[in-house]
């Protein structure tokens, strides 16, 4: 399995955001995780398309856009125009999830569905064959720097089994409270894309990325 690190720029230093993106990209992060929050689906408001567009020229890495937004389909075209490569929407935020997934694909983006901690993995069973990625939230979305919810590991395992049973190859991303201490258990359970905000951007971001990649290498060689 190939493992990918997706640093969440929510934890970056916004006064030098472009530079922070370049740093983690140069250190080996393949995805840049972009947390868009609307103040409705989640309590806080983060940033939106103008910020995303302004850092698009910093890197050609995958822009992985995590939409913590009610009815995110309303913004699919704007996400694409701002440089989004993968648009991930919450199952809980879409009245017509199947249609929203189709809409994302029709714009030429990869499609992901995110599940809040309390949302069962079975809720994506019937759309799994249309998805590029499922995001298992390991904190309640809305803020960086929260404590990891351990039962997320079991959800990853159950989802990986469901994907294999159907003979599909869907990425499993985990987001929230992930650090060097618990990432190994998530890879063991079947996750292959790891989001990390505070664990990457605290102190030396390049060094932190390299530490994650070292753990990924050990797991790849198993
Ligand atoms: C939470 C966001 C996460 C967050 C992760 O709502 O979706 O991407 O930035 O931050 P850490 O890794 O600090 O928990
Ligand atoms: Zn996120």
Q: Which residues, 6+ apart, have CB-to-CB distance to 148 below 8 Å?
A: 138, 139, 176, 177, 178, 179, 182
Query: Considering its fold, how many domains does the chain have in total?
Result: 1
Ligand 1 contact, 7 CB (< 6 A): no
Spatial distance between the Cα atoms of 136 and 112, rounded to a whole number of angstroms: 11
Confidence (pLDDT) at 51: 98
Q: Is 110 buried (19+), middle (13-18) or exposed (0-12) by CB count in 10 A?
A: middle
Of the residues 46, 63, 114, 175, which should be mutated to test ligand 1's pocket, given the most ligand atoms within 8 Å of the CB?
Answer: 175
Ligand 1 contact, 44 CB (< 6 A): no
pTM higher than 0.85 for the full model? yes
Ligand 1 contact, 35 CB (< 6 A): yes
Confidence (pLDDT) at 1: 86
Ligand 1 contact, 23 CB (< 6 A): no
Q: Which pLDDT tens digit goes with each residue over 102-139?
A: 999 999 999 999 999 999 999 999 999 999 999 999 99
Ligand nearest to C-alpha 139: 1
Of the residues 7, 40, 44, 139, which should be mutated to test ligand 1's pocket, given the most ligand atoms within 8 Å of the CB?
Answer: 139
**H or E element, residue 137:** strand 133-137
Ligand 1 contact, 208 CB (< 6 A): no
Q: Which domain holds residue 29?
A: 4-220
CATH number, residue 54: 3.20.20.70
Ligand nearest to C-alpha 66: 2
Is the pLDDT at 208 greater than 90? The verdict is yes
Q: How confident is the model at residue 65 (pLDDT cuts 50, 70, 90)?
A: very high
Report how far ligand 1's centroid is from the alpha carbon of 115 (Å): 14
Report how far ligand 1's centroid is from the alpha carbon of 167 (Å): 30
Calculate the dihedral angle through the C-alpha atoms of 42, 45, 50, 52, rounding to the nearest 10 degrees.
Answer: -60
What integer best gives the mean pLDDT of the chain?
98
Confidence (pLDDT) at 39: 98
Report how far ligand 2's centroid is from the alpha carbon of 119 (Å): 16
């Amino acid at each position: 399995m190939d493992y990918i690190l997706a640093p969440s720029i929510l934890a970056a230093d916004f006064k030098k955001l472009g530079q922070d993106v370049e740093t983690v990209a140069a250190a080996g992060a393949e995805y840049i995780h972009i947390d868009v929050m609307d103040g409705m689906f989640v309590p806080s408001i983060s940033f939106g398309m103008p910020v995303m567009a302004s850092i698009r020229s910093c890197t050609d890495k995958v822009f992985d856009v995590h939409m913590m937004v009610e009815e995110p389909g309303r913004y699919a075209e704007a996400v694409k125009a701002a440089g989004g490569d993968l648009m991930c929407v919450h199952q809980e935020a879409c009245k017509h999830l199947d249609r929203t997934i189709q809409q994302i694909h029709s714009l030429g983006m990869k499609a992901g569905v995110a599940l809040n901690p309390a949302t069962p993995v079975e809720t994506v069973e019937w759309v799994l064959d249309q998805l590029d990625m499922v995001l298992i939230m390991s904190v309640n979305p809305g803020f960086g720097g929260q404590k990891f919810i351990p039962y997320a590991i079991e959800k990853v395992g159950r989802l990986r089994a469901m994907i294999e049973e159907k003979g599909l190859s869907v990425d499993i991303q985990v987001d929230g409270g992930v650090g060097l201490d618990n990432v190994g258990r998530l890879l063991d359970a079947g996750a292959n894309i790891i989001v990390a905000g505070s664990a990457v951007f605290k102190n030396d971001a390049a060094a932190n990325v390299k530490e994650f990649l070292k753990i990924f290498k050990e797991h790849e060689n198993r």
